[in-house]
Amino acid sequence: MADSLQAVQWPGLTSSAEEINHLKNALQKELAVYYYKKAGLLSWVVFIGGTGTGKSTLFNALCGKNISETGVERPKTQKPVVYIYSKDSVGEEFPFREFQIRSINEEKHDPVQYNGISGNYVVVEHHREEIKHLALVDTPDLDSLEVKNRQMAEDFYLLADVIVFVASQEKYADEVPSRFFYRIYQEEIPYYFLLNKADKILTREEVLTFFRQQDIKISDDHFWLIPYISSPTCETISNNEEFDKFTSLFFKMFNKDHSFQLHQEGKRRNARKLSGRINRLLSLLEGEDLAGKEWLKGLDAVLEDSSRDLLEQFNAHYKEVSRSHLQNEVRKIFNKYDLLRKPRRYIGQFLLVPFRFLGLKKRGLSETHTKQLLTIRQRVDISPVLETVERFNRLVLERLSPGDNTSPLYNKMRETDIVLTNTEIRNRVLEEQEKLALWVEETFRELARSIPKSKKWGIYSASILWGIIILSFEIVLGGGISILEAALDSVLAPLITRGSAELFASHEIKKIARDLDHRYRNGLLSILQEQKDRYKLCLVYLTTSREAIESIRSIDENLEN
């Protein structure tokens, strides 16, 4: 259960991020309380009220002993005080694990000293069988200036099977107490409203009218007007007629049998409340998920724009004016190996070509090829790739960064390891070139081995194949390939016309050139894809997994109806 909610994450692409965070934290605590109360039989009676209302004095009067410290200093109650049959009644699975419990026997308990006792709350043990089933709690002031005090009041409110809400004539209309009581009323938690320190002028109707104007209808048997007493003590309050009536009704309503019934009703009420909050959380997470899918579409659009930009730079590198230069280069290669031009001079040398290039000097050939490929790779300008990746990152932040700089995705996108460094980009380009170089050499070997003997007197040889392939490799790494095909066609056409050579593997050379181009383009685009994937992982990391969603949904299904 805790792991499922702990796994809840959200990128912050909707306006619900703050509510999701609140629900996640609240549900973790509320579910812990729910399972704790489901496993136990204690009924928790929690006193809640504002500063200076006399809450602790009324708590002591209900307990019949001075359990919680009272006085004129504010705030007096610094930590919760639990009056209970035995500390073992609390159980080992108490939901507020961050609390440290200090247990004291009531015979040895001095309420003046308990604030100095270590621990986050104090358990005062009694041996009264008639209230063995109850845990009576005095909480810190709900309007305390201390955040931790307000939080402790909130925490014990979650445990309550019944609330004893204490206000005073000066405090009952204050914003914080009245808003908190409205929450109790809305959540339908059984309550008793004790208005303490009332003077003779204040009437019940006056107070009830105020709450009716707030859409709160308090029935007579839930409202008690406790008169002002100049020096209130546990004894003087207990002897008050109005408080005595409240006490009699309270213990009658919370006898063991009726208390168990209220406890069961409380579990069902909490289950309904939890179910509503869980479904709200799931709905908000679904909204974040839909927003995330739209965000990914935007990321794909930026990738498409940047890829197009990179390929345009790639294509523009070799202009039409380069054709004449390439034609000369291709012609040199063909003329060098056109053996029909000088048959007597080159016939002996040509007969050795298959042996020299196809195996007998394999080591030297490999070294020569490697050196040629390495030389070309060292001349390649990768600045277009660096510029395109930089532009891609800029566009992602401009178009897709959440406007709220506190959102998880906003900060995740700006972590130092998200953007590819120039060194990483250079290494990736070299890696793609290395793959291409290995493919070029392997392709050449396959073609060279496949030259049939009947073609040996043609203009093609292993050397001319390597010459064309190395030229293709250089042009591909430089930025373009279409001009090479045009140059090949313009050189080969007159040779075909004169019949000076059998053009073995002409289509293979063009195919190699196109394949080289395709492979290298894809390699460069894969660098942009890697940068895009890093941003995508930001979203994936901040998205609640389907497993966690299903686990949370199963929690809801297993709550009591």
Residue 196: predicted pLDDT:
92
Short-list 508, 559, 249, 534, CA closest to 396 = 534
Q: Which residue has the higher pLDDT, 247 or 457?
A: 247
In which band, very low, low, confident or very high, does the pLDDT at 504 lie, cut at 50, 70 and 90?
A: very low
Percent of the chain with pLDDT over 70: 71
In which band, very low, low, confident or very high, does the pLDDT at 477 lie, cut at 50, 70 and 90?
A: low
What average pLDDT does the chain have? 79
Q: What are 46's strand-pairing partners?
A: 137, 163
In which band, very low, low, confident or very high, does the pLDDT at 39 lie, cut at 50, 70 and 90?
A: confident
Q: Is the pLDDT of residue 91 over 90?
A: no
Q: Is the pLDDT of residue 28 over 80?
A: yes
Residue 478: predicted pLDDT:
61
Q: What is the 3-state secondary structure (H, E, C) of 11-41?
A: CCCCCCHHHHHHHHHHHHHHHHHHHHHHHCC
Q: Is the pLDDT of residue 462 over 90?
A: no
Lowest mean pLDDT, pick from 36-50, 56-70, 453-467, 507-521 = 453-467
Residue 463: predicted pLDDT:
62
The pLDDT tens digits for 387-418 are 999 999 999 999 999 989 999 999 999 999 99
Short-list 26, 1, 548, 13, CA closest to 282 = 548
In which band, very low, low, confident or very high, does the pLDDT at 220 lie, cut at 50, 70 and 90?
A: confident
Could you give the CA distance from residue 218 to residue 215 in angstroms, rounded to a whole number? Answer: 10
Lowest mean pLDDT, pick from 96-100, 260-264, 433-437, 552-556 = 96-100
Pairing of strands 134-138, 81-84: antiparallel
Q: Which residue has the higher pLDDT, 491 or 506?
A: 506
Could you give the CA distance from residue 63 to residue 128 in angstroms, rounded to a whole number? Answer: 11
The pLDDT tens digits for 336-352 are 544 444 443 443 344 34
The pLDDT tens digits for 176-212 are 888 899 999 999 899 999 999 998 888 888 888 888 8
Q: Are 46 and 153 in contact (CB under 8 A)?
A: no
Q: Which two tokens stand for residue 4?
A: 């499922």
Mean pLDDT of 166-172: 86
Residue 448: predicted pLDDT:
67
Q: Which residue has the higher pLDDT, 266 or 89?
A: 266
Q: Which residues of 127-139 are buried (b: 16+ CB within 10 A; e: fewer)?
A: eeeebebbbbbbb
Mean pLDDT of 316-332: 49
Residue 158: predicted pLDDT:
93
Mean pLDDT of 524-535: 95
Lowest mean pLDDT, pick from 376-385, 459-468, 499-508, 546-555 = 499-508
What is the reported pTM? 0.75
Residue 451: predicted pLDDT:
59
Residue 274: predicted pLDDT:
94
Could you give the CA distance from residue 365 to residue 348 in angstroms, rounded to a whole number? Answer: 20
Alpha-carbon separation of residue 2 from 5, 25, 42, 279, 380 (angstroms): 5, 10, 23, 17, 55
Residue 450 CB contacts under 8 Å (≥ 6 apart), including other chains: 505
Mean pLDDT of 39-43: 86
In which band, very low, low, confident or very high, does the pLDDT at 356 lie, cut at 50, 70 and 90?
A: very low
